[in-house]
Structure 1
Amino acid sequence: MMNGGYEDENEGNNSDNDVEPILTIEPWMLQGLEGPDDDDIFAKKIQRVALDGEEHIYFNSADASNILGVPLTMRNIDDKLIWPHTKHNHFSVKTAYHFITVQDSVSGVTTSSTPAFWQKIWRLKLPQHIKNFFWRLCHGILPTRDNLVRRGLSVITDCPRCFTSQESICHIMLGCSWAQMIWLISPLGYFPPLSSDAAFFDWLVDRIMCDSPDVVIWIALICWTIWTGRNALIFQDKMYSPQESVLKAQSLFMEIQDSSTSPGCTQSHSLRIPRSREAYRWQCPSRHHYKMNTDVAKISDVEWSIGVVIRSDQGHLFMTGIKTILALDEVAVAEALGIRWGLQIAQQCHVSKLKVETDCEVVVNSFNAASATDLSLVSDIMADCRSIGAELESFSLRHIYRESNHVAHFVAKQLYHFAPCIWFDAFPISVLNLVNSDVLT
């Protein structure tokens, strides 16, 4: 027992972060992995060892984390080939052509990219000066300190904010802890852990080509506020907090939406700034139902925390849970795993009527639009959720604004050091205060 809760025993491989993962192997797993040369690349990746009379295969820590971070479905389904360059992992000639053109680029995005790529940038509903900035960012020609050195100037190359790394485009936008905080508290809620300009440009191309215009606009606005914040620090000695920078980006986004007069213009619900106070409020479920809210938070390059909160039709706490998992660098995958874990808990607690809410629209869309052509991990996990939900007397899943999901967000972000733990009583005071605030509002 711990603070009125119990530790979750169903952790599997994902809970043993202190032990180097060693996987038992079958003969077929080694086929094709060993070359004639002792310096074969695979020999550097793996090492066969004997343990308790069985042959095992040892992966280095990074590879092992990536392997263990691939979630498995609860259902017994066949393996399948996937195409990793689309959202739904389904092959298309368009994305194959895009992939080839990107690979031909020497240093990230260059003028050799497809015309369609640049058209997407110029068609974004952004102020012209931000479009110009985004164009320069995609070309990799922002006057960062490392770019200035390449142009022959003698300048200090350290990041002017954290002084821990050379000021490259990737470091400014993703590597600096100040920039990372901006990404995390923005409506996007994540940042990719990349360490090179080339990797950053590849990620940027994928987002521009594959994501909705609203998502791309948010990426552009976040990068813009990071860049202008950097310039304010260097040239005006002004220090803006991450919260101030996100508020600036939100203000710009609302101005863009207000000025949009296109008849067919729609907004992504997960990124739109809600106008009415009602949209922010958590609401009790209907009589005899329970409501479950889930959220996730990234706590390291490969580790996420999952927060689950279940409340009664009176708004009283029934259960709070926290757990950490290894997962891919995709927030939607982590969010889907959070919903699945919460459903498993609810099922074990014999909850028969359940309404589930999440602030991740991607998983809700995947749940509602099950498609045989969607081969993504999110689709597989949400199929598990549909299977669990079908066993309940009443079940629904819907999208809400992040402000309505603040209790689950707090649990995921602030209580991960308790993980794994589930409370049914003696709840943390901080959680009780937030829940009571929802009921009284």
Structure 2
Amino acid sequence: MIWKAEKNGCYSVRSAYRTCIEDIINNEHLRKPRYWSGIWRLKVPPKVKNLVWRICRDCFPTRVKLRSRGVNCPSGCVRCEDPHEDSYHILFHCPSAVVTWQTANLWHLISPSLNQFDNAPDNIFNLLQKLSAAQIEISVTIMWSIWKARNLKLWQQVTDSNFTILERARHLLEGWRNASRKQVHLNPTTSDSGSSSASQYQCQSQMEKIMCYTPSCSVDLGEALALNHAIQWIHELQLSNVDFEVDSKRVADYFNKGRGDVTEFGSIMDNSLNFCNDYLTNSHVEFIRRQENEVAHTF
């Protein structure tokens, strides 16, 4: 028996769930055509991206949202006496938040958007498209810090000053950037040129390598080969602390969870796993969406 929802023919709960969600259950109400890629392209800590995504998906646990889900709690703002604590109020309307934006010298960039939209998701999507990369990165990190201040006030009765909120945001963003610079990120990707396939690796945007092999192969097999060659190249460079970023979810999932695929793909991936276990024990393989893969788009 072959399970058609997986390329290796083996049943998995993940693929069964995906089949149910996409083919059986009507989930059109969950699909929101917004500028989602703008969120995932942000060069900010993952927890900041997650917070922004939750706000824009309207699943942010404000008091108003909790009450709409049947939770018995007050509806008023934790930081002021406004009776309606939703994400728009917390981030843009609460007097404490407004003073924070003014202190950060960002209020003049944010306030025009508030005249156009009366909810947090639309304002955030508008800012993602209007502000520069540096401005939106510090802005969304400040949003995270404002939410942190709200939770500290609610659960620990701690009242943060505006200086503390801004310093926490700055420290988080700078610390994450410094940590990212200390670690090598290598991004293997492939392209098909008809009679042959090409692999390109980019290391910290400073070194890159291109390899071509014949004949042309499937996308997943090409991604597996690209990762395999990239791993060996990193070993030749005598590097050890490396994050490999791939835009093939099948490759990333197999590397982190899988074993036992008897196809050519599985053989190549097993070879990569064994090589990393022997020589690159502190390295990882992570999945990134193709629209975020700058190497693939410049190839």
Pick the structure with more helix per residue: 2
The higher relative CO (CA closer than 8 Å, separation ≥ 6) is in 1
Question: TM-score with structure 2 length normalisation?
Answer: 0.47
Q: What TM-score does the superposition give when structure 1 sets the normalisation length?
A: 0.32
